[in-house]
Amino acid sequence: MSKLFVIQLGYLDTSRPGYIRMFFRLSELSQHFEKNIMKALSTITGIFTRDYNNYEGVRPIQIYLLRTVFALTLVFIGMFSWSTILNFEGAWKPVNAVAFCMWAAYSTMSVLGIIKPLKMLPIIALQVFYKLIWLSIVAYPLWIRNELAGSDAEQMTNDFLWVILPILAMPWGYFFRSFFTRRAQEHITPGNALN
């Protein structure tokens, strides 16, 4: 910026003070603009940088995405499952009842995921795995045989394809390190197992 200032200063007509004042105002504006750009770039790069102080090495962008997934789960799956449960009349088919109860339970627990996203990663893992299993054993065979369109499974398939959001939001490395490695097991000792 200072090199530009020196080069431009050479072109100024110093005999006219109005031009000098206008140039300094433009220079101040460009410095202010440059500071704001640098601040924005710092913020943008910051959300993609691992945060060991606040999020145990998980990138803030993944925390924001997790909170978004938990909020969407609470709103959409929660509204659908709870309204079905509360407005249902008659006797439930046991398998349907299990599905709606599970959806209602994990969508309600998503409130905790909004507050403490890293502690509630098993709910995201549950969402990912059951949807991928269902898509693999129900939707994929129908799709291969060109029978998915117009079938009873079509709408559920369209809903379950949104599984891409929790897959992208999940900090998979952190999840496996935290729940499946020896270091994770060392945190649970007989002395602190009840705490």
| pTM score, whole prediction | 0.71
Residue 23 pLDDT exceeds 80:
no
Mean pLDDT across 163-192: 78
Band of pLDDT at residue 8, cut at 50, 70 and 90: very low
Question: Can you tell me the distance from the alpha carbon of 150 to that of 120, in angstroms, rounded to the nearest whole number?
Answer: 36
Mind listing the pLDDT tens digit for each residue in 104-130? 999 999 999 999 999 999 999 999 999
Mind listing the pLDDT tens digit for each residue in 166-176? 999 999 999 99
